[in-house]
Amino acid sequence: MGYHVVQASDLEWEERPGHEGQAPRHAADLTGPAQMTESRARMWRYPAHVRGHRHLDPDQEEVFVPLSGTLTMLLGEPWERVDVEPGGVVVVHQGTPLQPRNETSEEILFLAYGAPSEHGNAEFLEDVETL
């Protein structure tokens, strides 16, 4: 078939551990249900004041699209903070350090998409403490 549709009601959310003292994040895989072969994608829900892992991917270009709430990204080395509202897009090129965060008091929902479909090569970096 030339396409696949994944409805929101079809998403299977799995809990992902948060940083020490933080609520867990939740991720829903899109790669399998959409039968993606050349790229990978997940939906993410971050509770208030939760951050993801700071990392860089030497193989993947990653795209982040906030669907609800403001997504904060720490990008580059030294890092730069970028806040992106729904309708915006952040493209992070291979080898660029990144860290998705929710710096708000509401849950956020965003899509993370990467290509090529290589995975498992990410280098995890020291977390960043902001003021």
Partners of 25 in the β-ladder: 16
- pTM, to two decimals: 0.95
| Model confidence band, residue 3 (pLDDT cutoffs 50, 70, 90) | very high
Between the alpha carbon of residue 57 and those of residues 10, 30, 33, 37, 120, the distances in Å are: 29, 19, 23, 18, 9
Q: What total of structural domains would you count in the chain?
A: 1
The residue range of the domain holding 113 is 26-124
Please report whether residue 110 resides in a domain: yes
State pLDDT tens for residues 6-60: 999 999 999 999 888 899 999 999 999 999 999 999 999 999 999 999 999 999 9
The CATH number of the domain holding residue 48 is: 2.60.120.10
Please report whether residue 79 resides in a domain: yes
Please report whether residue 51 resides in a domain: yes
Q: Which of 106, 109, 101, 67 is nearest to 82 (CA)?
A: 101
Q: Provide the 8-state DSSP code for 79.
A: T
State pLDDT tens for residues 70-112: 999 999 999 999 999 999 999 999 999 999 999 999 999 999 9
Q: Classify the phi-psi angles of 30: left when phi > 0, otherwise alpha if psi is within -120 to 50, otherwise beta.
A: alpha
What are the tokens at 12? 């299977």
